[in-house]
């Protein structure tokens, strides 16, 4: 079975997004986002190479891939493919300069 590992910074990103939705759009929207993110992680873990490579400068992120959260396409999941699944590194809003965030 494919595995999803969520790194600490990605956990913080998720919490911040959920708090934002709870405060600005309601608990139901936050719940839908959490479910959509989880489904996206599961899909990526089954097919880890489907994401596109992020164009970042830092060598430790050279293999990072990105994919949109299904249903919340303005959020990008940055992850590393692993033999047994994926490691989620960050979840970043598409309006942000992800190259700078990952720099």
All domains of the chain in start order, with CATH: 3-101 (3.30.2310.20)
The answer for residues whose C-beta is within 8 angstroms of residue 76's C-beta and 6 or more apart is 66, 67, 68, 69, 91, 92, 93, 94, 98
pTM of the predicted model as reported, rounded to 2 decimal places: 0.91
pLDDT tens track, the chain, 103 positions: 689 999 999 999 999 999 999 999 999 999 999 999 999 999 999 999 999 987 777 778 788 999 999 999 999 999 999 999 999 999 999 998 777 766 5
The phi and psi torsions of 87 (rounded to 5 degrees) equal -120, 115
């Amino acid at each position: 079975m494919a595995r999803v590992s969520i790194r600490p910074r990605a956990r913080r990103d998720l919490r911040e997004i959920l708090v934002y939705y709870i405060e600005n759009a309601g608990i139901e929207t936050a719940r839908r986002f959490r479910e959509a993110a989880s489904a996206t992680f599961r899909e990526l873990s089954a097919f880890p190479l489907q994401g596109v490579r992020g164009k970042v400068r830092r060598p430790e992120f050279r293999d990072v891939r990105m994919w949109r959260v299904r249903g919340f396409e303005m959020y990008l999941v940055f992850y590393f493919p692993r033999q047994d699944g994926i490691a989620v590194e960050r979840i970043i809003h598409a309006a942000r300069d992800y190259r700078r965030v990952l720099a």
